Amino acid sequence: MSNYDPTDIRSQERTRGDNDLRNKLATDTEEADLKWLMGSKRGRRIVWRLLDRAGVFRLSFNTNSMAMAFNEGNKNEGLRTVAQIHKLCPELYPVMVKEQIHDNRNDDNGSRKDH
């Protein structure tokens, strides 16, 4: 049996306030984590790999509609991450792109990459 009382407005407001605070703390933590991750070269490489795997930099088209829907779902999460980067640390996105261009420029000739 539930103790929920639909006429207890104060309890509902208190519960709503607690939920709002919990959601705010979770959002703040997620934002701080992304800023921390983007703050180092290693972290930016991780983020770049995640964006690449999500399909942010390629088309999602597939003749199989279910595969295309799956690809679009992955891409949507990647685009959400890109939007967070642009919102929270926009100065680090071009740094990440430049690092990837620099790290990948020698891929065609077989030379070693410096890590």
pLDDT, position 110: 54
pLDDT score of 108 more than 80: no
pLDDT score of 111 more than 80: no
Q: Once rounded to an integer, what is the mean pLDDT over residues 100-108?
A: 79
Q: Is-contact 84 34, C-beta < 8 A?
A: yes
pLDDT score of 68 more than 90: yes
pTM above 0.85, yes or no: no
Smallest CA-to-CA distance from 50 within 27, 74, 72 is with 74
pLDDT, position 7: 87
Q: Is-contact 92 44, C-beta < 8 A?
A: yes
pLDDT score of 21 more than 80: yes
Residue 71 CA to residue 57 CA, distance in Å, equals 12
* Secondary structure string (H, E, C) spanning 77-106: HHHHHHHHHHHHCCCHHHHHHHHHHHHHCC
Query: Average model confidence (pLDDT) for the chain?
Result: 91
Residue 77 CA to residue 63 CA, distance in Å, equals 22
